[in-house]
Structure 1
Amino acid sequence: MSSVDGERLATWLEDLGLADHLAEAGLPTFARDAEGRAVWSEPDRVEELDRALRSQGDEPEHAVPVGLVLLRRQARLRAELLASDTFSYETLAEVRRTSVDATRYAVHKAAQQHALLLVPVDERVVVPAFQLTPSGEVRAELAPVLEPLLAAGMDPWRAWAWLTQPAALTLGHAPEQAVTDPDLADLVVRAAEALAARLHR
């Protein structure tokens, strides 16, 4: 593929906001040199990359690389989730008014019993705050929702998103909020159980 085509592909990906997600998808990447030209990590794969990214839909010229769009959406959602309230062992220990060691033990015990969602972030673990009471204990009404999802081995990030994002099923409320409504609580529990059953298949 000519350098002009490589430049066109790079510009197209930048315009779509997808250039930063190439490496995560295991695809060739590019960087801009001092003159602003795209320099590809694997120039011999650029033509193959172009075909792969345009393989969705009936009009290749206007196709959108769905896989990269999903990666971008996932990255944006993760950033939103991390911007919400979370606890570390240390901050949760302060809320619970106990030692860090005791808190770490209690947190991991609850996680092993599928009663508490822990999410790995880089080299640490965070406890999403939505599932806790002001005193730092697990919300009782969330227990029957968390248990099937965690027991099924649902990806922690996916579980966090499912529990905290508005859903049509729960009339535009996040499941973790809807479960406090007596008219919606059973629906949320059944939805969690159904999702967990699909994960087992």
Structure 2
Amino acid sequence: MQPAEQTGRDDSVPTDPASVGAALATWLEDLGLAEQLTAAGLPTFVRDGDVVSWRDPLSGERLADDRLLELDRMLRSVGDDPAHGVPVELVRLRREGRLRAALLDGGWLDYAGVARLRGVSENAARFAVHKAAERRTLLLVQQEGRTLVPSFQLDGAGEVRPELLTVLEPLLAARIDPWRVWIWLTSPAGLLSGGVPHEVARDPEEQAYVQRAAVALAERSRPGRR
């Protein structure tokens, strides 16, 4: 076993696989992050009293000890103290899950809703919606087999707000996950001093800043970029 100063672990953190697995499970439960493991494609665990069993996400078989220890190191890798590290990816997934739930609560239209706003048939609305998406002028999001049209991007007549056209194009061209685009456009953004992008874009004097922020996000999201 390596000395503590080389591993980054101290005497308060268990090192044998069984104890590590139990401590890791308890830690994630206390943080409210255990349910995010599946969404992140990570091993999951089942608790039977004090006994915790970790499972491989692909095979469903017991997770090998070396992989369990590596999982523990990875999740605790942010911060100087491994006993209080931050599982950033799981925190991000939890935040996105909460934001998705909020957006789904009345923040979208289906084809029939768009049709009512535009005063056209549902079939005509469906055709127009998908043609606009192909031109990268409309954001569509898939949810459990349904096509959602986030309503923030539409005006009172059901048309895409003109000031958002140059904002949507770089984001959609970069093939960013549509959920991430929806969340970014409707949440406070650091590049806009905490302003919500789609709201800031309503101001003609600020619209260019939103466009540049969208381009920056698109560039960071391209394959091979971080």
TM range (shorter): 0.7 to 0.9
Alignment of 1:147-162 (within 5 A): 147-162=169-184
Alignment of 1:13-162 (within 5 A): 13-33=28-48, 35=49, 37-41=51-55, 42=62, 44-45=64-65, 46-162=68-184
Q: For the Cα contact (< 8 Å) 1:170–1:184, is it kept in 2?
A: no
Matched, 1:166 2:188: yes
Q: For the Cα contact (< 8 Å) 2:186–2:197, is it kept in 1?
A: yes
- Deviation track 1:54-110 (CA, whole Å, cap 9, x = no partner) reads 233332222222222222222222223223510111222222232221111000000
Query: Using the alignment, how far apart are the partners of 1:97 and 1:38 within structure 2?
Result: 58
Aligned residues: 200
Identity %: 54
2:135 maps to amino acid: Q
Give the number of the structure whose residues are more often helix, by fraction: 1
TM-score (norm 2): 0.77
Q: For the Cα contact (< 8 Å) 2:188–2:195, is it kept in 1?
A: yes
Gapped regions of structure 1 (runs ≥ 5)? none
Q: For the Cα contact (< 8 Å) 1:54–1:61, is it kept in 2?
A: yes
- Deviation track 1:28-70 (CA, whole Å, cap 9, x = no partner) reads 212334x575443325444443233223333222222222222
Gapped regions of structure 2 (runs ≥ 5)? 1-15, 56-61
Q: For the Cα contact (< 8 Å) 2:152–2:198, is it kept in 1?
A: yes
1:170 CA drift (Å): 3.1
